[in-house]
Amino acid sequence: MTDTTSQQVILRKEGSAGPSSSEMAEKVGRAGAVVIDEKPSTLLVEGNEETLRSATESVTGWKAIPMKRYSLPDTRKKIGW
């Protein structure tokens, strides 16, 4: 059994080369990823790492940027006894 992790990736169009945003959304959708948000030059997609890698590695003009999540520090004052 393989361990697949779902992640969110920003796909950003760089330059005029490559498919349009809607064509790229269709391509990653056929590969099994979910398009969360679509703008003319940016897509936010979610899927497992292998699916996203295989759907985007052969496409020119688009750059995949993994989403990073940060936790906020606890800012409450601590009172020590």
Q: Residues 16-34: what's their mean pLDDT?
A: 89
In a domain, 79, yes or no: no
In a domain, 49, yes or no: yes
Residue 42, domain CATH: 3.30.70
In a domain, 58, yes or no: yes
31-66: pLDDT as tens digits: 889 999 999 999 999 998 888 888 888 888 898 888
In a domain, 15, yes or no: yes
In a domain, 1, yes or no: no
- Res 1: pLDDT: 42
Averaged pLDDT of the chain: 86
Burial class (CB in 10 A: 0-12, 13-18, 19+), 52: buried
Q: 29: domain range?
A: 6-66
Which residue would you say has higher pLDDT here, 70 or 44? 44
The 3-class secondary structure across 25-68, one letter per residue, is HHHHHHHCCEEEEEECCEEEEEEEHHHHHHHHCCCCCEEEEECC
What's the predicted TM-score (pTM) here? 0.73
How many domains does the chain divide into? 1
- Quote the CA–CA distance of 46 and 34 in Å, as a whole number: 5
- Res 43: pLDDT: 94
